[in-house]
Amino acid sequence: MSWISNIEGEPDLTYVDPHPKVPDPSIPNRMVSTKRANKPYLAYKEYRDRQEKLHQEWLERKKEREEKLARGEEVGPEEPDPTHEPEVGVAGLLKFIVYLLLFVLLTGKFVTGDFFWGYDGKWVHLKTYWPQGEGRLFSEAGLARFDGSNPDLPLYLAIDGDVYDVSSNRRVYGPGGSYHNMAGVDAARAFGTGCFAAHRTHDLRGLSERELRSVNHWKTFFRDHKDYTRVGRVSHPTIDPASPVPEPCMPPKDATKSDDAKHAGPQPENKKERKGHAEL
């Protein structure tokens, strides 16, 4: 409480510092206390003094070496300056980042059993960063060969022109699967209307705004799916504007379904499909 009675900051002439004093490293002819608050300051001065001593000794050895070289005597390799402090630089920063990433990955493997701490999104898959370009160009007949009926061929489907390899999910898109109608064809319209049999076509004319949103939803789903890879484009014949628009399919018999469910497109059947649907 002494500071309350000494607001003016007058020195306390009765105070006796129990710590010994040493010369001030920065101000000649001045002594400073070795109390705890001053120890980092004094320790740094000691460090700088040691570094200066090492540097001067290195300069002497370097001078002696140069004199021997001048006399033609054999000398060993030049000694680096022991006090040299290399700058971190870009390379050092990159090395630190790499070590930090390795530490995080190994910690995740140890703690959760997975290098990515259980995260399985698109950012941990190589295809997210690997440019795919346009890929292969399919005709409609060529795409139909990859409907899963031949187990030796991959399983492809297309949506609004983009072809995806869905071979990892043959149970759903292969023969006998819930959405086998979608395989080997661009059934973009069915993804919007839910008419799997009647709307196996890329013709999107006449769809409502809600149905078009459903098509875009599934385009995003396949584009971002961690297991499905875009392999190319399908070339469709030009649609004659005068041709009839595909007839709407019959509404589902279950009247308890909401209007949103009628236009939600094909619903995921397996765990991976449900997870992907929920993420969008």
For residue 264, pLDDT over 70 is answered with: no
Determine the Cα–Cα distance for residues 193 and 208; give it in Å rounded to an integer.
9
**pLDDT on residue 203:** 95
- Contact (Cβ atoms closer than 8 angstroms) between residue 118 and residue 112: yes
Average pLDDT over residues 26-44: 80
Contacts of 167 (CB under 8 A, 6+ apart): 154, 155
CA atoms within 13 A on the CB side of 2: 6
For residues 83-93, one letter each, b for 16 or more C-beta atoms within 10 angstroms of the residue's C-beta and e for the rest, the string is eeeeeeeeeee
Determine contact, residues 230/132, Cβ cutoff 8 Å.
yes
Residues contacting residue 126 through CB under 8 Å, at least 6 positions apart: none
Residues 6+ positions from 228 with CB-CB distance below 8 Å: 164, 165, 166, 168, 169, 222
Q: Which residue has the higher pLDDT, 220 or 33?
A: 220
Residues 62-100 have pLDDT tens digits of 999 999 889 888 888 889 988 887 777 788 889 889 999
pLDDT score at 125:
65
Provide the pLDDT for residue 116.
86
- pLDDT score for 263: 43
| Sequence-distant (≥ 6) Cβ neighbours of residue 28 within 8 angstroms | none
Residue 279 has pLDDT above 70, yes or no: no
Q: Which among 138, 159, 156, 151 has a CA at the least distance from the CA of 266?
A: 159
How many Cβ atoms sit within 10 Å of the Cβ of residue 238? 5
- How confident is the model at residue 255, as a pLDDT? 40
pLDDT digits (tens, 9 = 90+) for 157-206: 999 999 999 999 999 999 999 999 999 999 999 999 999 889 999 999 99
Neighbours of 189 (CB within 10 A): 26
To which H or E segment does residue 184 belong?
none
Q: Per DSSP, which regions of the chain are E strands?
A: 21-23, 31-33, 136-139, 156-159, 162-165, 229-235
β-sheet bridge partners, residue 186: 158
Contacts made by residues 26-32, CB under 8 angstroms, sequence distance 24+:
none
